[in-house]
Amino acid sequence: MQEDALAEELDYIFNPRSIAVIGASTEPKKLGNRILNNLINRKYTGKLFPINPRDREIMGFQAYSKVVEVPETIDVAVIVVPASAVLQAMEECVKKGVRGAVIITSGFAETGVKVRELQERMAEVAHKGGLRFVGPNCEGIFNASANVDMTFAPKSPKKGGISFISQSGAIGANTMFRWGAERGVGFNVFCSSGNEADLSSADYLQYVGQDEDTRVVMMYVEGIKKGRLFFEVAKRTSQTKPIVLMKGGQTEAGSRAVSSHTGVLSGSSVIFDTVCRQTGIVKVDDVDELFDVSMTFETQPLPKGSNVGIVTGAGGGMGVVAVDACIKRELYVPVFSENTIAQLKASLPPYAPVNNPVDLTPPFDPARLVKCTEIVLQDEKIDSVISMGFGWRTDMVSVELAAVEEFLGLKKYGKPIVMVSVASKCEFETLRKLEAEGIPVFLTPGKASRAIAALVQYQKFKSKQKGYSETRL
């Protein structure tokens, strides 16, 4: 019953029928303008009510001086006024009967004791009035299914299967939305949780964990306010969908930075690591890894085991580096079956190494890369494949494009496939096409291997719930 009640409360925020923007503005540089503009550009179909004491019309919508003057019901209010005016705005929202709020404004608990008291007073007013809220000190929320973009991000993302909960706005929409646009990755729900004066990361995780359109949960947290709830929800969610998490404040200096950023205590890293292991959370250490691993979960099937096949058209040295990277991450690089070796020998020059890794040897031939990758995928010993070579030369783009179409067909084998290319995706249409069609592209073998290792880690967690015991080949 409590879960149902929370889902209903959050639905007013993430799937509202009407939105008031308190602090809406006609000035393009102001956040109140950018948030309203994002809602319009997203083609939000509900009702919009700009709140501004000076203007009677903003972006074609009738504006009101106060939220209590709006003659219709309001599901959620986005509050983007100075910190000193937020408490009054919250009191007016309660008086109006608004069900939820998203408080963008910063300058609360993260700045000191006196302002922390203001935040506590604001939360008290909201709780007494039955109003749940996000923030303060956040970048807003996004829900692709409802065409809701209550963020001030410069670019609204396309719809996808990743839902992202972040205590940092900068790591949130500003970074991940931009990377998603560059790499063809979409998002389903985004929540910048900020100081979490009311709703917490655990609450949002519970919400997206039950959401059918969420296939992967991405999280950036600095501290957990509802530890027991978080543990229970994370363990339950991991049974059906992966949670990829990065924690800020893992060092003493980082913990101090957390206190001044979102005003929370970061907690013990040792305890947090234990929580991740017990709940099946895939913990990562950097922002690019957070994105890469989440994208790989979104686009790739889970492997049956830890055995990786490596095919390199980018030189033998890259194959050696790939082997080392896999072994360091507790992946295995077994010798291929006799049948696979025979097929590879028939397809390559007699001097080409074929035992794993496969070195295609110069000159690079995109069609040969596709053929040898397929041969390796057919080996029953191999659970995942790292293929390297596309984006080799700018004068081969047209040839590569034809080969990419064939390469995409290799997804039929139902095994994870990732590409490594030292080239920039900005230079090569082939690489952009691969990612747009669901094949992750990484700049180094290390990045590719850590993404596959994350898939293996999560698969082991799920399998162990059923008495899993891995056999090494």
pLDDT higher than 60, residue 261: no
Common-topology check for domains 2-296 and 302-464: yes
> What percent of the residues of the chain are helix, what percent strand, and what percent coil, each to the nearest 5?
45, 15, 35
Rounded CA gap, 326 and 453, in Å? 8
Q: Contact at 8 Å (CB) between 390 and 370?
A: no
Query: How crowded is residue 66: how many other Cβ atoms within 10 Å of its Cβ?
Result: 16
Positive or negative, the CA dihedral 204, 207, 209, 215 is negative
Please tell me the predicted confidence (pLDDT) of residue 226.
Answer: 85
Looking at every residue in the chain, the average pLDDT score rounds to 90
Share of the chain above pLDDT 70, in %: 91
Provide the whole-model pTM: 0.91
Q: Contact at 8 Å (CB) between 399 and 369?
A: no
Domains of the chain, by residue range, sit at: 2-296, 302-464
C-alpha pair distances (Å), 368 with each of 24, 214, 399: 58, 37, 12
Q: Please tell me whether residue 100 adopts helix, strand or coil conformation.
A: strand
CATH architecture of 2-296: 3-Layer(aba) Sandwich (3.40)
Q: How many CA atoms lie within 13 A of 296 on its CB side?
A: 31
H or E element, residue 137: none
Among the four given CATH numbers 3.30.70.270, 3.40.50.261, 3.40.50.850, 3.40.50.300, the one describing domain 302-464: 3.40.50.261
User: What burial class does residue 340 get, using C-beta atoms within 10 Å of its C-beta: 0-12 exposed, 13-18 middle, 19+ buried?
Assistant: buried
pLDDT higher than 70, residue 250: no
What amino acid is encoded at 343 in this protein? Q
What pLDDT, in 10s, does the model give residues 295-306?
A: 999 999 999 999
Which structure tokens are listed for 461? 């967690």
